[in-house]
Copies of this chain bind each other. A is one copy, B any other.
Amino acid sequence: MERKTYHHGDLKTALVEAGIDILEAEGLKGLSLRSLAARVGVSHTAPKNHFGAMRGLLTALAAEGFRRHAAHMQAGLPPDASDAEKLQAAMHGYVAFVEAHPHLYGLMFSPDLVDQDSPDLIEAGHASYLILEDLARHLDWSRKDEPEAQVRGEIMLWSLVHGYATLRQSGKLPLSPRTGAVLGIAEIAPRFGRRTGD
């Protein structure tokens, strides 16, 4: 990458894009400030002006990861379908995204590498979570003696998808298609809650 001007023009977004590219191609260990800067055609200290330090860069990458994650789930929702079917599709999209971008998803949940207080990250993460939450809202988790079971149910749903996806990612679950299929868990999930009106 050569450039003619002293200033890059849009270095910040270029670094984020190249950073995600490296992350997906080589994983975290392949992502260094120097290799990243070289790819963009800039000195290895240039990123400091935009991200402060490595931690800031990784935080920006994680936030972008949440945005892409949300977009991927959103894009996979069938427009005319029941809530249960939409939830199923969202969970399927969730797991598929993790499987397609394991390093990026891992970074998104690495508090040691990412600044959890970043407003950008918090907003992107919350927006992503809202997709699942909205779909789970239509399930009835309540019991008379547990007024907060609804919220707890949403957390459970998230825990289930996140846990399954990360276990797959870490190679702990052999992907025997009949037992571990993504669809399997997405099919069975809505049975956790009794649908309203059932």
Contact = CB atoms under 8 A, between A and B. Distances in A.
Interface of chain A, main secondary structure: helix
Contact of A112 (B27, B111, B155, B156): B27
B167 A179 contact: no
A158 interface: yes
Contact of A166 (B27, B125, B166): B166
B179 A151 contact: yes
Contacts of A172: 109, 125, 129
- Category for how many chain A residues contact B: 35 or more
29 contacts: A29-B112, A103-B112, A106-B110, A109-B167, A109-B172, A110-B170, A111-B170, A111-B171, A129-B172, A152-B179, A152-B185, A152-B188, A155-B164, A155-B173, A155-B185, A156-B164, A156-B188, A158-B163, A158-B167, A159-B160, A159-B164, A159-B167, A160-B160, A160-B163, A162-B166, A162-B167, A163-B163, A166-B166, A192-B192
